[in-house]
A and B are shown apart, each in its own frame.
Chain A
Amino acid sequence: MEPDFTSHPDDTRLEMYSMGKLGSDEAAAVEEHLLLCADCQVRLEEAETFIRTFRRVAPAIETPRPRSAGWRLGAIAAALVLASGLAWWGAQRGPEPPPVAVTLTALRGDPAGVAAGRHLRLVLDLTGLPAEHAYAVEIVSREGRAIWSGTLAAGRTEIETGKPLAAGRYFVRVASPRGDPLREFALRAE
């Protein structure tokens, strides 16, 4: 059966073609289509830019340990979500320690504790704040120096920092989209 070159390959098929994962007949059909279809030529170039950039950047970003056997990446394991309260539990041990999460419910004066040098998933107490808003979240040092900032999507109460904290005292600040401060939590990394 001759390959059907008139069908536009979907995104996954174009990506697999780019990565050399298609069988010879399928690859032939894609190439024949690309000879005539400028739209799909553009789509392929965009897909390849994405894949090339992803491959350069992703290894440096934390990735959770895959559930299947045979994972051999040197990436750090993903964050774990902790139960509510001030306690945290040790995450599963492996070649790379996974990040820990900490639930922030207390205001200044009663810091939540977290292990230093670990990536964090902040579980924020936003009781009383409108759920339909996104909020700015910032971690500052005891001296007020900005350490990390991010945006908490509307309806969410958890955010990953993607950045380990050195030992010390910090404050986690939540602000409105306009920048008005709304909450502040104390955090201690040990």
Chain B
Amino acid sequence: MSPGLSRIAPEQAASPDWAAIDWVRLVASVRSGEKAGMEQLYGLFVRGIRFYLCRQLGTQDVEDKVHDTFVVVVEAIRSGELRDPNRLMGFVRTVVRRQVAAYITEAVTGRERLRPESEGTLSSHDVTPEEAAIESQQEEIMARILRGIPSRDREILTRFYLLEQPQHQICSEMNLTETQFRLLKSRAKARFGELGKKRLASQKFS
């Protein structure tokens, strides 16, 4: 359990009310070890820290890593490393990135020490059969969408997502406005999401 926390604080709702957060007061509260401050900090950041760690490191032992990262954040705040409370976001981001780097270094040096036949703590990134089935369905849906749109629209999407051409280049060469470009992408993605949900719904009831 994190120092000063006697219970797990609830996680923040979908999107915080930025205007209502008093960063100066929050940081002061954490520095002085107040439970309310710790709980507010936890509620605000735990989900985002977990999100970031999962993306960078995978899901193995993620809750332990989230907890450890949160402890590092709190200790860094309490030791005065954060000079400007209004820069708390950037500070937390920096701490999380440092933690990720440390975990990666630990995993790499640990891997080098392991004998091939011994078990280690290396996480498997193999796709499970369920994940493979979901990917296959997504590919079917995508193929259906791409075959159903005009070839010009396909070219626009290919330039952006596959060739990674910048938006301004695509718009200039294809004679598109920015709005047209955004609408095209958003329609394709909305269709993908919609067909995915329909497929999922039909499987639940079959």
Within 8 A of A (CB), among B87-141: 87, 89-90, 92-93, 96, 135, 138-139, 141
Residues of B in contact (CB 8 Å), total 53
Q: Are B51 and A34 in contact (CB under 8 A)?
A: yes
Main secondary structure, interface of B, reads helix
Contact A57 B155, beta carbon cutoff 8 Å: no
- CB of B82, distance to nearest CB on chain A (Å): 14
A75 to B146, CA, bound (A): 14
B139 CB to nearest A CB, Å: 5
Does B15 have its Cβ within 8 Å of any Cβ on chain A?
yes
Q: CB-CB < 8 A to B162: which residues of A?
A: 54-55, 58-59, 73
Check A79/B151 contact, CB under 8 A, given A2-B87, A12-B167, A38-B15: yes
Total chain A interface residues with beta-carbon distance under 8 A: 50
On whether the beta carbons of B151 and A12 are closer than 8 Å, the reply is no
- Given the interface pairs A34-B48, A35-B92, A150-B148, the reply to whether A12 lies near B161 with Cβ below 8 Å is no
Question: Which of B89, B138, B142, B192 has a CB less than 8 Å from the CB of A35?
Answer: B89
Tell me if B16 is interfacial: C-beta within 8 Å of chain A. Answer: yes
Structural contact, B154 and A64, CB atoms closer than 8 A: yes
How far apart are the CA atoms of A6 and B20 in the complex, in Å? 12
Segment 44-70 of A: residues with Cβ below 8 Å from B:
46-47, 49-51, 53-64, 66-68
Asked whether A11 is an interface residue with its Cβ less than 8 Å from the other chain, the reply is yes
Does residue A28 face the partner (Cβ distance < 8 Å to B)? yes
Q: Chain A residues near B143: list those with CB within 8 A.
A: 57, 60-61
B95 to chain A, nearest CB (A): 11
Do B161 and A51 have beta carbons less than 8 Å apart?
yes
B27 beta carbon closer than 8 Å to chain A:
no
Q: Find out whether the CB atom of B151 lies under 8 angstroms from the CB atom of A54.
A: no
Q: In whole angstroms, how far apart are the Cα atoms of A38 and B12 in the complex?
A: 8
Q: In the complex, A53 Cα to B141 Cα: how many Å?
A: 9
The answer to whether the Cβ of B201 comes within 8 Å of any Cβ in the partner chain is: no
Q: Which of B10-42 contact A (CB under 8 A)?
A: 12-16, 18
Find B90's partner among A19, A21, A32, A36 (CB 8 Å cutoff). A32
Across the interface, B138 reaches (CB within 8 A) one of A8, A49, A58, A79, namely A49
**B147 interface residue per 8 A CB criterion:** yes
Which A residues are closer than 8 A to B by beta carbons? 2-3, 5-6, 8, 10-12, 15, 19, 21, 28, 31-32, 34-41, 46-47, 49-51, 53-64, 66-68, 73, 75, 78-79, 150-151, 160, 162
Name the 6 nearest CB pairs between A and B, nearest first: A35-B48, A78-B151, A32-B89, A162-B147, A57-B142, A6-B18
Of the A-B pairs whose beta carbons lie under 8 Å apart in the complex, a sample of 16, sorted by A's number, is: A6-B18, A8-B15, A28-B90, A36-B44, A38-B15, A39-B14, A39-B15, A47-B189, A50-B193, A53-B142, A57-B139, A60-B143, A78-B151, A78-B152, A150-B147, A160-B151
